[in-house]
Structure 1
Amino acid sequence: MKTFDYARAGSVAEAVQAGGRFIAGGTNLLDLMKLQVETPEKLVDISRLDLARIEEREDGGLTIGALVPNSDLAADPRVIEKYEVLSRALLAGASGQLRNKATTGGNLLQRTRCYYFYDTAAGCNKREPGSGCEAIGGFNRVHAILGTSDQCIATHPGDMPVAMRALDAVIVTQRGDGDKRRIPITDFYRLPGDTPHIENVLEPGELITHVELPAPPQGKQTYRKVRDRASYAFALVSVAAVIAVEEGKIASAALAFGGLAHMPWRNPAVEAALIGQTPGTAAFEAAADALLDGAKGFGSNDFKLPLVRRVLIATLRDLTQ
C-alpha cells in the first residue's frame, strides 16, 4: 500500500470540498489499495457523518442513508416486510462480519472481481486504459455475457444493487458545488464501451448521501443467487424478481440480474414478454429469449447462457404458483 493523506469530514459539505476518495466501511477500497490496484493520494473518512438512518417517506417508500450498514438494512422490519427482495439480496452477499461494516453507498460503488483487474501485471482496460483486456481469450468463467465490448467483459459484483435495480431505486448525491442530484439507478451505471474505467455517472467529489425506494411494489418478491459455494461467493447468475398475478395473468413484473453484465442488468423486453400472459412455460421461455437476445459467451463462461435461462424460469415458476 502506498502512503496517502487522511482527513475526517465533519459534515457532507466538508466531505465534498475535501478533494479525496471517500471511505467509510472500506471493505472494497482497502483491498484494492493493498494490491495497489487503486492508489489514492488522499482518503476522506465519512464514517461519522449523520447518514446512517432509515426513514419512512410520505409516499410509503423509504429513504436509506448512505452509511446504513448492510446488516442493519437487511434486518430492518420495514425492509423485511415490504422489500423482501432487498433483504434477501443483502443476506446473500459477503459474510456477516463484512455486512456489519459494508455500507449502502459503498455497496453501490464496489468494483469488479475480475481476476485480471486485481492482477497489476495483467492487461486491464478498467484498471489501466489502453492496456488491453486479458479476460477476452483468457479465463473468463465469472465474466459478462451481456453488454460487453471489445474493451472489457467484467461483471458488476453486487447483490444489493441488483435488488435496487428491480425496485427502481433513486440515488441521491451532493456535488462539490453544493448542488444535489437524484439519479435513477437505471441511469447510474455505465456499460464499458470504449471507457470501461468509467463505471458510473458520478462526478469527481460527488458523494452519495441517500438512496430512495419508492412505495413497495405489488406481488411476490425474491432474490435467487447461483454461486460456486453456499456463502461468501459472488454470483455466477442472480435474479431479483417482483411478480404480481391477477385473475390468472401476470399483471406486473420487475426483473434485474446480476453476474451477467458490467452493471445490474434490467431489460424492459423481458418484462414485456411476461405482462398480460398466463404464467407457464411459453411465457417464461419467451422472457428468457428476450433476456438472452444478443448474449455472447467467451469460452469459459459459455455455461451462463443455459444457466440464466434455467434460473429465470425456476424463479418465475416459484413466484406465480
Structure 2
Amino acid sequence: MARGRRVRTAATAFGRGPRAALAAAAVAAGLVLAAAACGTTVPMGAPTQSPTATTSASVPAATRTAELNASTELEQWLLNPQSGTITYNTIQVTSGGSVNVMTMLTGPFAPSGAANLTGTIETLGSGTTTTDDASAVETQTRLYSTIPTAQQTGDLADKQWNTTQVNATWQNDAMHSGWWQVLFQAQDLKMEGVTGLGGASVDVFSQVIDLAQLPNVPSSLLDSEALRKAGTTKVEVDVETLTGSGKLAKVIYKLGLPAAIDISATATSTAGYEVDLSNLGGPSPTPSASPTPSATAPAPETIADGEGDVDLAAMLLF
C-alpha cells in the first residue's frame, strides 16, 4: 500500500515581523494556534493530517523508523537552526551550449542571514578550462559577490564586488526564503542507502518535492532566473543522519542539471543548482564544526553598480 504524503502549512515560514535570527524565536514569540476543543496548542506549520502514517508491508519496521526519524531531525533543526557550513554548486550552460560555467563556493553560515563563502569559478569552452577565485558575503539581507579580476577594467577599475538583495524572492515580511518551506515539507523521506561523510557512516534519505504544488511558496521564487534556467520546479531533498544515533548530519536541496563541469544542456534546462548544509550544530562527523561567520559588507568604494549573483541569492535558505 502506498504511503500518503503529509501536507504542511507555511505559516511558520512566512510570519509577519522583523527577520528573526532563529525560527524557534518566532515560535516562542507566539506563532502557535489554540487547538480547538482540547485546549492544547500546536505550532503553526504542523502537519495538517494525522501523524500516523500507513506503513507498507514491504518496508522493514527499522527502515520506516529511520525514515520518520530523519524527517523529525530535519524539522527540529528548521525550528531551531544552528550555524553550520554551506556549500553552493551550480552549473550554467551558456553560448548555445558551447560554454559551461561552474561555480563552487563554501563557508560558514548563520541562520540570522550571514555567510562568508570562498571558492572558484571554472569555465569550460573550446576544449580549455580556466579557473578564477570567487567569494561571496551575505549580510544584512544583501549578497556581495566578487567581480572576476579580468573584468576589473575601465569603469570597473578598483571595483571588486557586485551586490543584490537576498530576500528579493521571499514573501513580504518573511523570516525565511521559500526553501525553508520546501524543507519543512520533507515528511515522506525514503531511505536510499548508506554512505560516508567525514570519516563517519551516514544513512541517506531522499524525497522529491514540487515547489509549484506547495502552499505559500512565493511567486517571486517560482519566477526567478534560477528556476527558469533549471527548467523545473521539482526539487530533490536529501537528508543524511549519523548511522546509529540518527542525529542530523547534512541537508541537501538541488534541482535542474547535475552540478558537473562536463554536463550538457537539455531541451528544458540550461542550469543546475545544489545547496549542501552540514555541521549543523550537533555532533559533527567532520573534523570541526564551522565557526559563526564574520560577514562584513565590503567598503562602499569597492562595490560596482552592476547586479550581483542573483542565482546564489535566490538559492540561499536564510
Give the TM-score, by structure 2 length.
0.24
Structure number with higher strand proportion = 2
Larger radius of gyration: 2
Structure of higher RCO (CA pairs closer than 8 Å, 6+ residues apart): 2
Give the TM-score, by structure 1 length.
0.24
Structure number with higher helix proportion = 1
